[in-house]
Structure 1
């Protein structure tokens, strides 16, 4: 609520603030907590055709579905860059994004590609750029430098 009021007042969120808000919208990973959340929301976990877990599935079971609209709004405000799904390959640059922003950003791209596939369009290749760190390790043949992708 406060986030929405701040946006309505004309304040553009920073990447840090966006990531914190998205982190609050991440669903718990603990199965019992997730079950309790689903119960508190008044949803059923039946696998029948009429199951009302669609709102959680829309968030890929990782984030509240509102996280996607917040991310798209932040992109329209210029807080984060917007990825075009029209190129081939689709380039997703998550090197400068905070963890929650990067996760929701990638899920948003996948959601867009899912909609394109459902509409009968061909799915382009995807190139995901992650932050890379170098680390030195000791091996039997000597010291080696390895590159580790973050996230």
Structure 2
């Protein structure tokens, strides 16, 4: 079995057959399409607890997947830290996905992430673009409640 993806050639890889990869035609810069600046319907596809690389702050990394439309399945990441300046952002995100009770209670972030209780929660994401290392990239600006598409300057992209 052979497949061509972004310049890479794949052979094998089925049970009992070794996977062979040819990356000779792969552009190391990648080819992810930058999505238009808009508000997209999404859901939480994963949530992990870790510590930030630079400051060592406790944080959640949200994996958000676009639901529906031509960009369905695209995933984006959003980081929230459990610091004095970061907890308002955590609270806004929790309220946006309907976890009002959790947002107003005492909890252990690592346990919440490990339990998976936020996975599958519906929302919308406000996606922006910004330069990063000389290329335009997408950036999740905010997690919004499902059905909201009225932020000034942003169109709903579904």
Please give the range of the TM-score, normalised by the shorter of the 2 chains: under 0.3
Choose between structure 1 and 2: higher helix proportion.
1
Bigger relative CO (Cα 8 Å, ≥ 6 apart): 2
TM-score (norm 2): 0.21
TM-score (norm 1): 0.22
